[in-house]
Amino acid sequence: MFPNMSTRVRFAPSPTGQVHIGNIRAAIFNWLFARHEGGRFLLRIEDTDRERSTPEALEAVMAAMNWLGLEPDEPPLFQSTRTDAHIAAAEQLLSNGLAFKEDKGGTGKGDCVIFRMPAGTDSEFDDIIKGRLTKKAEDMKDFVIVRSDGSPVFHLANVVDDIFMGITHVIRGDDHVENTFRHIALYKALGADVPRYAHLPMIVNAQGKPYSKRDGDAYVGDFRQKGYYADALFNYLSLLGWSPGDDREQLTRQELTDAFTLERVRSSASQMDLKKLTFLNGRYLADMSAADFETAASAYAGSPDWLQAGKAARFSEVCRLLQSRTKTLADVREWTYFFDRMPAYEQKAVDKLLRKEGVGVMLSAFVQKLGVVGFDHDSIESALRAAEAEAGLKEGKLNQPVRVSITGITTGAGICETMLLLGKDSVIARLTHAATNLCG
């Protein structure tokens, strides 16, 4: 396909705090569409709400876009710098008789500028995702475009800026469908070409309600902080409402770009599935090169007490052992048992697996057997199986009590591999401590 340089799309967030995944998904779909078409992806900051558009809110938008690799192709346009152009457009409408002034509600605060909705004709447009959408003429009312204090209203600013930026396709959440009927009327009144529209379905929770923070992590910053990998979140959100038309679920950015079309965006709501995202994230982490994984894990870990100088070689070994099982980089925080002298025992795990009749005796028997064999995979395994057989337990039954004794938690790599990395002395010391002090 020849690059279509005339395709211009934009992400137009109103920075009001943290960046919701629904918003960033709109940015991703705009970005994918622009890249697929060989067009341009732009950013407009709709920062006219002076109270909510704080520097922190703007920083959150920029950080989220940067983290996800959503670089705009031109410098961002700040809507707050465009007031004169918005007012000029309102003047133009006034002088053409397409708007009028009125002291709305007779408050005495001064006149608003009101846009005159064309009477008598139904409004309709072909949404690329939702198909033909119609609104009856009698349901379309005149509306304010400039407030009595002289500030332009969202509808006017949004349309005037889209015209200014040469936007050809407006891809945004379907909470804007109602606005679009007004926006189309404004485009026509201003003598501009109406762009194509693609309204994205809502992201919902398991009950079909808009997905919010109450349902789980909902902001881009949360996912970053919790150790999700940017490419995995990008991939997951791309598939939230869109599919490549086959059953691929793990796609590179290039594959997503190649396959992306707006026609294949579903018109029904998309359900957020955190488990699926976490699973996909684990696959991304598992697929990284060992060196890249170590870099990412180390960057995430920072420099906590347990990872002091001299522990780098061990950190590499632990990375190799646990990479394929890591779901999010935050799992790194559980790795302390490889570095501290003793594990931090999780009370729930201790209660469930160690505080039981006979466990201490079995662990002691295992320690005895370990003491007299070599410390390699097969010897450890045989000692474990022998201790189980002696206690009349089924094979594998001692794995979890042993795991909790040496790591303090219930998840991790294979039990023998974990012991090998910890080393014989440490394993024996921990098992003995557990058998003596923690078992029932």
Can residue 46 be called a binding residue for ligand GLU (CB under 6 A)?
Answer: yes
Which of 176, 314 has the CB closer to ligand GLU? 176
Residue range at the interface with ligand GLU (CB under 6 A); choices 11-19, 195-203, 295-303, 356-364: 11-19
Can residue 298 be called a binding residue for ligand GLU (CB under 6 A)?
Answer: no
> Could you tell me if 332 and 393 are in contact, meaning their C-beta atoms sit under 8 angstroms apart?
no
The only residue of 147, 176, 196, 314 in contact with ligand GLU, by rule CB under 6 A: 176
Which of 98, 165 has the CB closer to ligand GLU? 165
Can residue 30 be called a binding residue for ligand GLU (CB under 6 A)?
Answer: no
Which of 16, 281 has the CB closer to ligand GLU? 16
Q: Hunting for tokens 């994984």 — which residue is that?
A: 293
Question: Dihedral through CA 386, CA 390, CA 396, CA 401, nearest 10?
Answer: -110
Which of 14, 316 has the CB closer to ligand GLU? 14
* SS3 state at 210: strand
Can residue 172 be called a binding residue for ligand GLU (CB under 6 A)?
Answer: yes
The only residue of 12, 61, 146, 350 in contact with ligand GLU, by rule CB under 6 A: 12
> Could you tell me if 143 and 114 are in contact, meaning their C-beta atoms sit under 8 angstroms apart?
yes
Which of 12, 321 has the CB closer to ligand GLU? 12
Residue range at the interface with ligand GLU (CB under 6 A); choices 7-15, 112-120, 194-202, 432-440: 7-15
Of the candidates 319, 343, 334, 318, the residue with the CA atom closest to the CA atom of residue 427:
343
Can residue 14 be called a binding residue for ligand GLU (CB under 6 A)?
Answer: yes
**Is the Cα dihedral 125, 131, 135, 136 positive or negative?**
positive
Give the separation between CA 438 and CA 349, rounded to whole angstroms.
11
Amino acid at 214: R
The C-alpha angle 206, 278, 23, rounded to 5 degrees, equals: 65
Which of 123, 158 has the CB closer to ligand GLU? 158
Parallel, antiparallel, or unpaired for β 131-135 and 123-127? antiparallel
The two three-digit tokens of residue 55, written as one number: 């520097």
Can residue 165 be called a binding residue for ligand GLU (CB under 6 A)?
Answer: no
> Could you tell me if 205 and 215 are in contact, meaning their C-beta atoms sit under 8 angstroms apart?
yes
Which of 158, 281 has the CB closer to ligand GLU? 158
Tell me the H-state helices in 357-414: 359-372, 377-390, 399-407
Can residue 158 be called a binding residue for ligand GLU (CB under 6 A)?
Answer: yes
At residue 225, what are phi and psi to the nearest 5 degrees?
Answer: -65, -30
> Could you tell me if 388 and 398 are in contact, meaning their C-beta atoms sit under 8 angstroms apart?
yes
Residue range at the interface with ligand GLU (CB under 6 A); choices 116-124, 170-178, 221-229, 350-358: 170-178
Give the separation between CA 99 and CA 382, rounded to whole angstroms.
87
Can residue 196 be called a binding residue for ligand GLU (CB under 6 A)?
Answer: no
Can residue 18 be called a binding residue for ligand GLU (CB under 6 A)?
Answer: no
Residue range at the interface with ligand GLU (CB under 6 A); choices 6-14, 82-90, 250-258, 323-331: 6-14
Minimum gap (Å) between residue 34 Cβ and ligand GLU: 14
The only residue of 8, 13, 234, 327 in contact with ligand GLU, by rule CB under 6 A: 13
Which residues bind to ligand GLU, rule: CB under 6 A? 12-14, 46, 158, 170, 172, 176
